Amino acid sequence: MRLFIAIPLDGALRAAVQSVQDDFRRCGVRGNYTKAENLHLTLAFIGEHPDADGVLEVLDAVPFAPFELRLEGIGAFGDLWWLGIQRSAALEAYVRRLRRALAAAGIPFDRKRFSPHITLVRRADRDGRDMPGFAVPEAGMRVEHIALMRSDRGRDGMIYTEIESGRRV
């Protein structure tokens, strides 16, 4: 199974993110836009791993308390364009605890520095022009739970499915 740990977006934040995607489309940005139901904030990318139950055990063991997320900034990693997340001590502390617990349990994950963002469009192309400048919507959400997600390739792109642990705050 291809797994990752993420924060699914609530309806209001998802709508704000989609409004930026719509702005990009109106400006002629082509590419692979993240579908509304797939919008999320990745905390740890695990990749191919056969033991979802082991990952859920780690998730259940890492102390979690709800916290706030706010959008801040638009940027790019090459041709991947994203919306940033405002610096949050609670988010950063949780990610450190989570990644330490994954490492201690021997669960492999991508160890790149955590750079909180929501992917808007992959392979973005605007006929060689720079990314259009837009104001970032003033939007956020209260994070009430962290999800283990499974990624499967479907006929129309990736399908992300939450693997339920029954754990909610």
User: Of 128, 117, 18, which is closest to residue 74 (Cα–Cα)?
Assistant: 117
Q: Quote the distance between the C-alpha of residue 103 and its chain's center.
A: 20
pLDDT per residue over 18-76, tens digit each? 999 999 998 888 999 999 999 999 999 999 999 999 999 999 999 999 999 999 999 88
β-partners of residue 118 are: 83
User: Residue 140 and residue 118: Cα distance in Å, rounded?
Assistant: 12
Which residues are CB-neighbours of 29 under 8 A, at least 6 positions away? 81, 121, 124, 125, 126, 131, 132
- Coil/strand/helix, residue 61: helix
pTM of the model: 0.89
User: Of 146, 13, 1, which is closest to residue 70 (Cα–Cα)?
Assistant: 13
pLDDT value of position 165: 54
Domains and CATH numbers, the chain: 2-163 (3.90.1140.10)
User: Residue 133 and residue 154: Cα distance in Å, rounded?
Assistant: 33
User: Residue 76 and residue 42: Cα distance in Å, rounded?
Assistant: 16
User: Residue 87 and residue 162: Cα distance in Å, rounded?
Assistant: 26
pLDDT per residue over 95-154, tens digit each? 999 999 999 999 999 999 999 999 999 998 876 666 777 788 999 999 998 999 998 888
* End-to-end Cα spacing for the chain: 26
